[in-house]
Amino acid sequence: MTDKIKLDIISDVVCPWCTIGYKRLEKAIAELGIEDKIEIEWQPFELNPNMPKEGQNVQEHISEKYGSSSEDQKRSQEYMIEAGAELGFTFDYFDGMRIVNTRDAHILLEYAKEYGKQTELKMRLVTAFFSERKDVSDRDILLQELKAVGLSTDEGIARLDSDDARYQVRTQETYWQSLGVSSVPTMVFNKKSALTGAQPIDVYKEVLTEFLKA
């Protein structure tokens, strides 16, 4: 039997399906009682790397990028609200909601990894964006969330100001894309196989069980 399953989760902070997928995975892990056998590392993926500082209205953005009508978007949001509620997560969609640039958020997630706080910060950031109507491209908001998980805001600022930290995030994104990752969430198990999209809880349980037997 394997000691631990290494899970690389490639995702973006402003991706609702990434949140639903992770919460389902989390539930699968809890139901199997294997929390001590899982090692999670979050990998960066920017859905909109060229998003300007002011961001863009969510409805306008989805319409432009995917050609979705306002009715389609409303149905999709209702589904996500319902799926989130089943998992104890709140999606609070509102008229003025804006998609924002997430490069700085990914830089801080890399920093949090060094202190074993990556998942904690990730969930703080997605909660801030989807549940609390916060702009996760705003440096003050990012530093507040960093502080909320017990990390140094001074070190955080230094990372955000570091060209090397920016380069590292871009390098990692390129690495995963070179392996064929083109949509998120993508969850890679022990660097051997991958699941794309927010799968049902039972699918995660099945895959985890297979890897534990290996």
pLDDT digits (tens, 9 = 90+) for 4-33: 999 999 999 999 999 999 999 999 999 999
Alpha carbon distance 111, 96 (integer Å): 31
45-60 mean pLDDT: 94
The CA R_g of the chain, rounded to the nearest whole Å, is 17
Q: Where are the domains of the chain?
A: 5-213
pTM above 0.85, yes or no: yes
Indicate whether 89 pLDDT > 70: yes
Q: How confident is the model at residue 53 (pLDDT cuts 50, 70, 90)?
A: confident
Give the pLDDT confidence score for residue 214 in this predicted structure: 79
Residue pointed to by tokens 């890679």: 188
Q: What is the DSSP string of 126-160?
A: HHHHHTS---TTSHHHHHHHHHHTT--HHHHHHHH
Alpha carbon distance 143, 211 (integer Å): 37
pLDDT digits (tens, 9 = 90+) for 117-156: 999 999 999 999 999 999 999 999 999 999 999 999 999 9
| Residue percentage of the chain with pLDDT more than 90 | 95
Indicate whether 1 pLDDT > 70: no
Closest CA to 116 of 83, 80, 149: 149
Give the right CATH number for 5-213 from 3.40.30.10, 1.50.40.10, 1.10.3470.10, 3.30.930.10. 3.40.30.10
Amino acid at the residue 8: D
